[in-house]
Amino acid sequence: MRGEPVEDSGKLGALLDRYRGQPGALIPLLQDIQREMGYLPRPALEEAARALGLPAVKVYGVATFYAQFHLKPRGRHVCRVCLGTACHVRGGERILSRVSADLGIAPGDTTPDRAFTLERVACLGACGLSPAMMVDDQTFGRLTPDKASRLLRRFAREAPDGGGGGGRTAE
Amino acid sequence: MGSLKLQINGLQVLARPGATVFQAAEEAGIAIPHLCHHPLLSDIGACRLCLVEVKNARTLLASCVTPVQDGMVVETESPRVVRARRTVISLLLANHPEDCLTCQKAGECELQRYAYQYGVERTTYPGERKDYPPDDSNPFFIRDHRKCILCGRCIRMCAERQGRSAVDFAFRGFATRVTTAFDVPLEESPCLFCGNCAAVCPVGALMPRAFVGKGRAWEQTRVRTICPYCGVGCSLYLHVRDNRFIGASPAPGPANEGLLCVKGRFGLDFLSSPDRLTQPLLRKDGGLVPASWEEALEAAARGLKEARDRHGPQAVGVLSSAKCTNEENYLIQKLARAALGTNNVDHCARLCHASTLAGLMMAFGSAAMTNPIADIDRSQALLVIGSNAVEAHPVIGARIGRAHRRGAALLVADPRRVELALCADIHLQHRPGTDVALLNGLAHVLVEEGLYDAAFVEGRTEGFAELARVLEAYPPRRVEEITGVPAELLVRAARVYGTRRPGAIFFAMGITQHTTGTDNVLAIANLAMLAGNLGCDGGGVNPLRGQNNVQGACDAGALPAYLPGYQRVDDPEARGRFERAWGVRLPAEPGLTVVEMMEAARRGELKAMYIVGENPMLSDPDLGHVEEALKRLDFLAVQDIFLTETAKLADVVLPAASFAEREGTFTSTERRIQLLRRALQPPGRSRPDLEIVLELASRLGQGWQYRGPAAVMEEMAGLMPTYGGVSHGRLGEDGLVWPCPSPDHPGTPVLHRERFPRGRGRLIPVEYRRPAEVPDAQYPMVLTTGRILYHYHTGSMSRRSHGLSAHRPEARVEIHPEDAARLKVEDGDWVEVSTRRGRVRVRAEVTDRTARGVLFLPFHFAEAAANLLTNPALDPVARIPEFKVCAARVARAAQAEGGEGRAR
Ligand code: SF4
Ligand code: SF4
Ligand code: SF4
Ligand code: FES
Ligand code: FES
């Protein structure tokens, strides 16, 4: 999300101050920023680099190395569709393309209203229930495309901030 | 500590403690295959190709990161090692596009070589191929991720040597790749396009565009020579095929250790520019038309002779060139003095370092860098003042940055937030033209706080009492008023320079190009002597010379007051030596300087000029007047490789060979005399300057006989004590550092060890004076001029380089955001900058690199010629013009019609 202004720079400033001049504290700082802002926006990473005295590219390298860090905003719900071997054989692709079409985004992206982030994963450890997907921390198995659509609509309604609408879920 | 004994492949080997097994083997002449290791870089043990078998070790060990131990028994090619190595290579090939048939790197690719050496035919691991689009956003080189083996050499080069950290590993697992922060194209990263990363890439993942399709390693010839751009004196290879220039690559010279900057690496394609002059030109009916050499040389000789015979030798002037070799400069000044009978010979050093010469001659009795470039690694403190080293002397700039990362204190004094200022421990951002006050302020603190080296001052210098008295008037508060530098910061900086010894001072045109240039230099010498930072390793007063042979041109006597070797023309004894050697009477009066010649020409007193390799039409101050002066001449002969702005005004144009097409020596800023080697035939009918000067001399009645440049150097050695032991045969790859008085003398990298040439160092107090022109109501801002990384001097070479001009096609005037806001100027807008002398229309770059109230304009661009604006006011001693300060005004301009408007 290039050039996006750092929201709430007051809080970011406090985090940066805590670690200023300590290049060794990169990972804890990134964790704190992500906790505060939900993801790691580019300007925040640039400021983190300055505060710690590290080259921006080092910070970027670390942020992209660990799966726990997200450089794009995350949705309130994270939907992980499995394409592991078992799920693949039993139609995981069809689930993914339906979910992707419903949400109007590609895997790895987040809906503009930040309701959903869509990811593809390689085995959720629920092969017996394939094809499977996870929404937040709940696993759903034996899916059909329609079932997946219904699930998305349910989670959209349950948006924690109560804001209806959610992603562009299919009717 | 003694050395350790170990056994490698059955051989008894001695190694120093702390060495790696890899190094121990290398020293014993045993080569271990390696990909991530590179001698210029730290070791990370990533590629595992250098695995060796160590007796009693459980696993194979990466030799590049395994320290030697006493009694170790190592096998570097055991069957187990070879098996492991084949696996490593096989895995690398698994996701490598085996493109060797068309890959530019084939023949010098290290992966290809090892695959061949270990007979790995095709990979047994059919892996996924990487498929990211290449980064080909810049005009210099391409990053092809598919070929990258993730050895990390480029990353370490950029971080450790260049200090840019433009690239690093990002992402993970199979997706890992080398990229910039936020994956932007290199153009948008901190990259400065030095190309040093590409020089160490073992495979074809980083490829200079110039080479692609022009023949592979085995079809090219490499000729080692010296970079023609700045005074650092980097060694490089010219790659040539069928007498065509392909590109350049770094060579491991003493100044550059195998590094280059963007100009040396990617800026030499002017060599094959279609604009090169290939035949002599004569002015006929107002136009320049092709002529034979015979006609042109006759005309040149006649023009100079007529002026001399009719108006006396004082009516003739010669401009020699910092682009010419020592031998050529020597002959050109000899031509002026012996053949034409005038001391009116000068070159553009007048415009950059005349004040260094004047100041350091007075203080020490010798004017050059006192310490070698390599000493940067030994300094504890580095004070860089008035030098944008990262852009103007990039390889030195990078080395200063590295010293700082190693722990040396870095103090930068500059009105602009130049690159080094950004990482400095302290940046003293003084107002342009207040250097004397700043330097006196630092010296004041040294004396006041007792931080000066009393023993050195007592034993090696004179004039301390007088200096101390003058310095009293420069307490930090007053200095703050004059310079704008906060008193506390000044005190802190002085304490660092006073206590972290040895400390070195570097300066360049920001110090010298002032009406107070000589005073500035004296103030620097005072400060260094107070701190006892002379005659020691890692200390020094180091003027960074702009052009590659400006040091040599001065050494060789292309100066109006000095014969070769800084022997004064008005010293009868010195003159006598040359008169005897040359068999002629020599003029005793010092001649005119560049700027004075222009004035004399404008007044009609100077009638004819011979200008070699200089472009005063862009390089001199107040160009309007220069043009007028050159047009008033009865006769003008110009010798150059391009039809420069100056050559266009000539009556005769003599086409010269470039640095790559001739032989001789250059003397770099660190006084290192290095050999230039011929790589190409001169294009068309152009000829080396040396030959042209000899032809001209014989037409002026001189019977000079030289069998080439080496013979000229022989004569120079006989007449110049500092070059006494220099001969081409001795120079080899590392050259010699003068003074080198005798054939068995090893050269003198550090000057003034025991004594100064004048005996004691002289502390000469200087008082702050205001610049000649200060802002007023009509011209409320300060204009300062200088260089940018991607261009050079008047641009006649760099602007004919495809890559350099594509990357930085036009001039920009830097303006501070607050000034810009007040004037409603936005980044990229056309503005008009005017001074009492002229106007220039140029686009604005809004940046806080420059200070409030200060405009910065580079002088490389004819269409926005900074020197239409600059003030020709001169330093009273060195006669150097004040390029660095004048009063100016800036305003928004209407959109330029049909390209950039030219003032006047
Ligand atoms: S060209 Fe130089 S600055 Fe740019 S990435 Fe390579 S090493 Fe770094
Ligand atoms: S681009 Fe070249 S030097 Fe850099 S990591 Fe890849 S293979 Fe190594
Ligand atoms: S630093 Fe100077 S000498 Fe070295 S490559 Fe660059 S321009 Fe050439
Ligand atoms: S493959 Fe989908 S859960 Fe294992
Ligand atoms: S060369 Fe030693 S691990 Fe790469």
Where do the structural domains in chain B lie, given as residue ranges? Answer: 4-77, 127-272, 281-351+556-710+717-722, 354-543, 781-892
| Residue B645 pLDDT grade (very low, low, confident, very high; cuts 50, 70, 90) | confident
Contacts of A59 in chain B (CB under 8 A): 181
The Cα of B236 is separated from the nearest Cα of chain A by a number of Å equal to 30
User: Which B residues 145-184 touch A at CB under 8 Å?
Assistant: 159, 165-172, 179-183
Please write the tens of the pLDDT for every residue from B339-375: 999 999 998 877 778 888 889 999 998 888 999 999 9
**CA–CA dist B165, B844 (Å, integer):** 28
DSSP conformation class of B163 = -
* A103-142 core/surface letters (b: 16 or more CB in 10 A; e: else): bebebebbbeebbbbbebbeebebbebbbbbbbeeeebbe
Which has the minimum average pLDDT: A8-12, B252-256, B407-411?
Answer: A8-12
Average pLDDT over residues B449-465: 93
Cβ atoms < 10 Å from Cβ of B681: 11
CA distance B600 to B628: 11
**Which CATH code of 3.10.620.30, 2.70.210.12, 3.20.20.140, 3.40.228.10 fits the domain covering B354-543?**
3.40.228.10
Per-residue model confidence (pLDDT) at position A169? 33
Q: What is the B262 CA–ligand 3 centroid distance (Å)?
A: 8
In B274-429, where do the E strands start and end? 281-284, 287-290, 316-319, 345-346, 381-385, 409-413, 426-428
Please give the share of chain B, as a percent, with pLDDT higher than 90. 69
- Distance from the Cα of residue B2 to its chain's centroid: 42
β-pairing, B567-568 vs B562-563, is antiparallel
- Give the per-residue pLDDT at A159: 55
Residues of B in contact with A2 (CB under 8 A): 182
Element (H, E) at B266: helix B262-266
Chain A residues with CB under 8 Å of B197 CB are none
Count other Cβ atoms within 10 Å, centred on residue B575.
19
What is the number of other CB atoms lying within 10 angstroms of the CB of residue B353? 35
Model confidence at B904: pLDDT above 60: no
First to last CA, chain B: 73
Asked if pLDDT for residue B608 goes beyond 60, the answer is yes
- Write the ipTM: 0.82
> In the structure encoding, which two tokens stand for residue B802, read together?
């495809």
**Mean pLDDT score of chain B, rounded to an integer?**
90
Place of tokens 């300066």: B507
Atom of ligand 3 nearest to the CA of B264: 5
**Which CATH architecture describes the domain B4-77?**
Roll (3.10)
CATH class held by domain B281-351+556-710+717-722: alpha beta
* CB-ligand 4 contact for A133 (6 Å cutoff): no
Chain B partners within 8 Å of A61 (Cβ): 168-170
Kindly identify which residue of chain A lies nearest to residue B189, measuring between CA atoms.
A57
Percentages (nearest 5) of helix, strand, coil residues in chain A:
45, 10, 40
Question: Helix, strand or coil for residue A155?
Answer: helix
B895 pLDDT tier (thresholds 50, 70, 90): low
The pLDDT assigned to B514 comes to 81
Give the count of alpha carbons within 13 A of B162, CB side only. 29
| A9-65 is classed CATH 2.20.25 | no
What CATH code is assigned to B127-272?
3.30.70.20
The model carries a pTM of 0.87
CATH of region A77-169: 3.40.30.10
Strands B635-640 and B652-655: parallel
Count of CB contacts below 8 A, A vs B? 44
Terminal C-alpha separation, chain A: 30
Instruction: Tell me the Ramachandran region of residue B10: left when phi exceeds 0, alpha when psi lies from -120 to 50, beta otherwise.
Output: left
B742: which 2 tokens?
A: 């005798």
Query: Is B716:B327 a contact under the CB 8 Å cutoff?
Result: yes
* CA–centroid distance, residue B58 to ligand 5 (Å): 18
With CA atoms as reference, report the closest residue to B381 among B569, B558, B190, B536: B536
Query: Would you say B382 and B409 are in contact if contact means Cβ atoms under 8 Å apart?
Result: yes
Instruction: Say how many Å lie between the CA of residue A23 and the centre of ligand 5.
Output: 27
| DSSP code string of B74-139 | EESS-HHHHHHHHHHHHHHHHTS---TTT-TTTTT-HHHHHHHHTT--S-SS-PPPP-PPPB--SS
B162 lines ligand 1 (CB under 6 A): yes
Task: Give the residue-averaged pLDDT of B583-595.
Answer: 92
Q: What is the CATH number of domain B781-892?
A: 2.40.40.20
Q: Is the pLDDT of residue B560 over 90?
A: yes
Domain chopping of chain A, boundaries: 9-65, 77-169
Contact criterion met (CB < 8 Å) for A65 and B170: yes
pLDDT tens-digit readout, B99-149: 889 999 999 999 999 999 999 987 666 667 777 888 888 889 999 999 999
Query: What is the Cα–Cα distance from B657 to B670, expressed in whole angstroms?
Result: 26
Q: What is the pLDDT of residues B303-327, one digit of tens each?
A: 999 999 999 999 999 999 989 999 9
Alpha-carbon radius of gyration of chain B? 29
Query: What is the pairing mode between strands B839-846 and B812-815?
Result: parallel
Percent share of chain B, pLDDT over 70: 97
Least trusted range by pLDDT, from B106-120, B614-628, B632-646, B879-893: B614-628
Do residue A67 and residue B172 have CB atoms under 8 angstroms apart? Answer: yes
Instruction: Answer whether B370's CB lies under 8 Å from B751's CB.
Output: yes
Q: What is the pLDDT of residues B482-536, one digit of tens each?
A: 999 999 999 999 999 999 999 999 998 888 888 888 899 999 999 999 999 999 9
Question: How far does the CA of residue B398 sit from the closest CA of chain A (Å)?
Answer: 16
3-state secondary structure of B228: coil
Structure tokens belonging to residue B206: 């980083």
- A57 to B189: CB separation less than 8 angstroms, yes or no: yes
Nearest to B379, CA basis, from B494, B505, B257, B504: B504
Q: Which atom of ligand 3 is nearest to the CA of B394?
A: 1
Query: pLDDT tens for residues B713-722?
Result: 999 999 999 9
